[in-house]
Amino acid sequence: MSIRFTDVFYTYNPKTPLEHQALKGINLEIVEGSFVAIVGRTGCGKSTMVQHINALLHPTSGVVTVDDFQNVPEKKKRSKNTKELRQKVGLVFQFPEYQLFEETVEKDVAFGPKNFGKTEEEAMEAAHKALLEVGLGEEFFKRSPFELSGGEKRRAAIAGVLAIGPQYLVVDEPTAGLDPLGSKEMMALFQKVHEAGATIILVTHDMALVKRYCDKVIVVDDGTIAKVTTPDEFFLEDIEKYSLDSPELYKLARFCIAHGADFDMKSIHGVTAFSEAIAKWKGVKHE
Amino acid sequence: MNPVLQIEDLSFAYLDDKNVLNHVSLSIEPGQYATLIGHNGSGKSTLSKLIMGLMSGYDGKIFLFGEEVNRKNLRSLTSKVGIVFQNPDNQFVGSTVADDIAFGLENSCVKREEMEAIIQEVACDVGMEKFLSHEPASLSGGQKQRVAIAGVLAMNPSLVIFDEATAMLDPRGKKEIRALIQKMRTKNPDLAILSITHDIEEAAASDRVFVLEKGSILFAGSPHEVFCHYEELVNARLDIPFAVKMCRALRNQGMHVPENITTVEALEEFLCQ
């Protein structure tokens, strides 16, 4: 079971002066159980791409397969089980806190499961479970979502997607605007969801997250897949050409190499290992 | 010269709640690039709102340009303080870029001829002169923030507060804004900056760092003076600049690394010797 893009093209506003081809032949497979990062500059087509996974957009041509569901161009006969697909694929947009709307936190989170046919009680139970999972305890259940802090709002919004119990979770810049501690907690949450069996697709500009959490990196550039690789391999090269920012450690390592250091980049993982390599390069003996 | 901003023993609470700010004191000199770091909810944005005079009812004193802020002089003093907010979409009022930049000038009754010259100049300063007739909605995040900065510069401020102004931008947008801040400081060496940020590398490269934790100033000083409190910062679950972590690891390897290195650039320079 997996997500598969086959020759996917997508054009916004076709046959108008605003026509814009966002996807130009995407071929890609995301296997079940992985934790992948989708990276690339703003406007490269990342968000357009992930919106095909739960059929918010239909390809202009080509096919996107999610398990046994097929997302095909609109004019062709379409699968009737879009609802089932959207239960399977949870999509968390950027700044999801702007999408809260109910009068209490628990009602907001229960909206999804209820919409997918759960009874009032079942939906509430799923909501409570999801809220506890994102770290919002009982004291939050009856509060208005609009009274929460920014980070709490975002967690409530994510609980709304988790309550549906998606197998595939697509998250678009989930840590933007959070403080470092909030980011860590947010990523720990996705890690937990991943360990419970879900496939996580993380759209991000934060390369530190890619390095720490993902097993695969998909680089999108100008509507095409520029590269599919592992984080370790990816950071060995200069990724500025994709308008991405290397983690500081790799910037410094490349600087040292340019100044004559002979590092095996593959063995440099953390600050400690890197400092050993530098000390060796500079000829410092460890006392 | 007087400090641009001086805060003495400032405490503040929202309705009946416990104090959001506790006896905060700090000062920023002309030309200084100061950063304020701390967790979400530590009181950073409350502090910026109090400085801007957007809320009242605090204990303690706020001085702007050497004068204590009170009800009578609030408007004239804060007119020299500009603020750029986090969300580029929430700060537009005009239907075109030029209209938007003009907003502050119109409010302070600047003559039309003068206004046009100012708009042209600040739009050039932020590199948006070709976009004056564009709709703000059609711009990228970084471009929107540059227009917001132009609107602030039009008022010829002596202090500009950036309240997480790059948090919602992509790496390219962040770079653009950082470069622009440097350009603004070169053009006007007396311009003071207060950047409220989660970007620890930005703090490491600034002149002065204030760490706000649970409404109180935990540390204040040069980046070196602040980040040498390594354990305390880690215990408060705050981030440490990469270069500071790296220097510490290098010292553990027996290398003699100068104490005052807080940025990757400085570390590179040292390693090249």
> Per residue in A78-125, pLDDT tens?
666 788 899 999 999 888 888 888 999 999 999 999 999 999 999 999
Identify the CA nearest to B145 among candidates B85, B69, B225: B85
Mark which residues 192-231 of A lie under 8 Å from B by CB.
205
The predicted model gives A46-71 an average pLDDT of: 93
For chain B, the distance separating the N- and C-terminal CA atoms, rounded to the nearest angstrom, is: 39
B167–A205: do the CB atoms touch at under 8 Å?
A: no
Q: pLDDT tens digits, residue range A174-188? A: 988 788 888 888 899
A137 touching B, CB under 8 A? no
Q: Are residues A112 and A254 in the same domain?
A: no
My answer on whether A139 and A176 are in the same domain is yes
Residue A150 has pLDDT above 80, yes or no: no
Per-residue pLDDT at B192: 97
- Closest residue of chain B to A176, computed from CA coordinates: B168
Same domain flag for A224 and A278: no
Per-residue b or e along B54-70, where b marks 16 or more CB atoms closer than 10 Å to that residue's CB: eeeebeeebbbbeeebe
Reported as a pLDDT band with limits 50, 70 and 90, residue A278 is very high
Looking up residue A98, the CATH number of its domain turns out to be 3.40.50.300
Q: What is the rounded CA–CA span in Å between residue B83 and residue B96?
A: 20
In chain A, residues with a C-beta closer than 8 Å to the C-beta of B255 are 275, 278-279, 282, 284
- Within an 8 Å CB–CB cutoff, is residue B246 touching chain A? yes
A131 and A12 within one domain? yes
Co-location of A69 and A211 in the same domain: yes
Half-sphere exposure of B67 (CA within 13 A, CB side): 12
Burial label for A63, CB within 10 Å (0-12, 13-18, 19+), is: middle
Give tens-digit pLDDT for B211-231. 999 899 999 999 999 999 999
pLDDT band at residue A77 under the 50/70/90 scheme: low
Q: Are residues A196 and A227 in the same domain?
A: yes
Q: Are residues A272 and A222 in the same domain?
A: no
Question: Are residues A278 and A137 located together in one domain of the fold?
Answer: no
Q: Do A249 and B164 touch (CB under 8 A)?
A: no
Kindly report the nearest CA distance between residue B5 and chain A, in angstroms: 26
Output the pLDDT for position A76: 63
CB contact under 8 A, B170 and A251: no
Note whether B222 and B241 are within 8 A (CB).
no
| Cross-chain residue pair B40–A271, CB shorter than 8 Å | no
Longest CA pairwise span in chain A (Å)? 73
CB-CB under 8 Å, A245 with B140: no
Q: In whole angstroms, give the CA distance from residue B115 to residue B117.
A: 5
Q: What integer is the mean pLDDT of B62-73?
A: 94
pLDDT, position A287: 47
User: Which chain A positions have a beta carbon within 8 Å of B141's beta carbon?
Assistant: 42
Which residues from chain A sit within 8 angstroms of residue B86, using beta carbons? 177
Low-confidence winner among A68-82, A172-186, A192-206, B198-212 (lowest mean pLDDT): A68-82
Are A154 and A187 within one domain? yes
Indicate if A267 and A220 belong to the same structural domain: no
A199 & A129 share domain: yes
What domains are defined for chain B?
A: 5-237 (3.40.50.300), 241-273 (no CATH)
Where in the sequence is the domain holding A253, given as residue range(s)?
Answer: 247-287
A257 and A194 in a common domain: no
For the ranges A203-212, A247-256, B27-36, the one whose mean pLDDT is highest: B27-36
Nearest to A286 among B38, B254, B272 (CB): B254
Are A42 and B172 a contacting pair at CB < 8 A?
yes
- Residue A13, pLDDT > 50, answer yes
Contact A189, A133 (CB under 8 A): yes
Does B140 contact A42 at a Cβ distance shorter than 8 Å? Answer: yes
Is B171 touching A (CB cutoff 8 A)? yes
Mean pLDDT, chain A, rounded, equals: 89
pLDDT at A221: 93
The total number of structural domains that make up chain A:
2
| pLDDT, chain B, mean | 91
Taking residues B233-244, report their average pLDDT: 91
For chain A, what percent of residues have pLDDT higher than 90? Answer: 59
